[in-house]
Amino acid sequence: MKALVKAKAEKGIWLGDEPVPEIGPKDVLIKVNRTGICGTDVHIYNWDEWAARTIPVPMVVGHEFAGEIVARGSEVTHLAIGQRVSGEGHVVGNTSRASRAGKFHLDPETKGIGVNLPGAFAQYLRLPAFNAVPLPDTIDDELGAILDPLGNAVHTALAFDIVGEDVLVTGAGPIGIMGAAVARHVGARHVVITDVNPRRLALAAEVADITPVNVATEDLRSVMQRLGMKEGFDVGLEMSGAPAALDQMIAHMVMGGRIALLGIPSQPFPFDLGKVVFRMITLKGIYGREMFETWHKMMAMLESGLDIRKVITKRMPASDYAQAFASAASGEEGKIVLDWTG
């Protein structure tokens, strides 16, 4: 089968010919139709420090996908051949306390497809049946392929009660934009999204009825005044990983504000903890998606009018992967979806 392989411990990715994965009794084999390119894949492509210490080579990468079940293991009874699915890329164990309590997203033994396990940038993917998520007809394959990052956005946006609250989202990457769209959909009052990239802010305004602010050129405090906000934001969703964005967020929260952190800083940075203490701010780290509550909620929202399709700005055949990775690395696009059916 065709697959995008991290074949060597150096910058790049290579289209290879790999054997179709063999499945175990609890697995399904998925014929991959569409995949999304994630920032993680760009890190793996660039072979940065994190990738070099995390990714075994050679390995098929990719973890955002949608496709169709073409084979199932002998113990799998709840999924049918021909069933369209996406799936959770975090593969959990069943021995930790968290796992045995059903809190799968807190399992310390978690492994990731396309990170420590063979991934989805391929014509076929092996996945534990437990991880497969059936797609209704209303969610097509390209939306199915971005449920993983939408799930990050939903997990973050729903970390705190945002109904009727003023929400600040820092970082208008694909996940920040989707998080802001979710905040709007579930009934936040003002949703402000910041970035320093005008193209990304323009995309944010196309995807949802939210207020884009370029913090390189605009003053956030005056935007708040214009919106009639007196004290500050009630809830913050940090989606950039930029130290400056977190500082700015903390400075513009209400006393007792709540912040959910999804963005991953590229390195440790100094940070004014005193402000968090004196302003009694809650900080909550968010990783991945809750299994499988996040999946349930995001699919229910998609079926009840949440529309994030415009966050997909490029669709390309998988054979154009080099151009697709260059576009993803440029930081100018929304989601880029590869088609594996050609």
Contact 114, 63 (CB under 8 A): yes
Figure out which of the listed residues 170, 183, 188, 291 binds ligand NAD, where binding follows CB under 6 A: 170
Report the C-alpha gap between 122 and 134 in whole angstroms. Answer: 19
Q: How many CB atoms lie within 10 A of CB 330?
A: 10
Task: State the minimum distance, in angstroms, from the CB of residue 42 to Zn ion.
Answer: 10
By CB under 5 A, residue 38 contacts Zn ion: yes
- List the strands of the sheet with 253-261, edge to edge: 211-214, 191-195, 167-170, 233-238, 253-261, 282-285
Amino acid at 45: Y
Residue placing its CB nearer to ligand NAD in the complex, 76 or 286: 286
Q: Is 282 a catalytic residue?
A: no
Task: State the minimum distance, in angstroms, from the CB of residue 241 to ligand NAD.
Answer: 3
| Identified catalytic residue from 40, 110, 156, 170 | 40
- Residues 95-114 binding Zn ion (CB under 5 A) are none
Residue placing its CB nearer to ligand NAD in the complex, 168 or 299: 168
Report the C-alpha gap between 251 and 221 in whole angstroms. Answer: 10
By CB under 6 A, residue 50 contacts ligand NAD: no
Cis peptide before 292 (omega within 30 of 0): yes
- Using CB under 6 A, which of the segments 90-98, 124-132, 261-269, 276-284 binds ligand NAD? 261-269
Q: How far is CA 103 from the centre of its chain?
A: 19
Figure out which of the listed residues 30, 125, 168, 262 binds ligand NAD, where binding follows CB under 6 A: 262
- Using CB under 6 A, which of the segments 202-210, 221-229, 258-266, 296-304 binds ligand NAD? 258-266
The DSSP code for 122 is B
Q: Give the C-alpha distances (Å, rounded to integers) separating 275 from 20, 197, 219, 245.
A: 54, 27, 20, 15
Active site members: 40, 43
Footprint of ligand NAD (CB under 6 A): 39, 152, 170-176, 194-197, 200, 215, 239-242, 244-245, 262-264, 286-288, 331
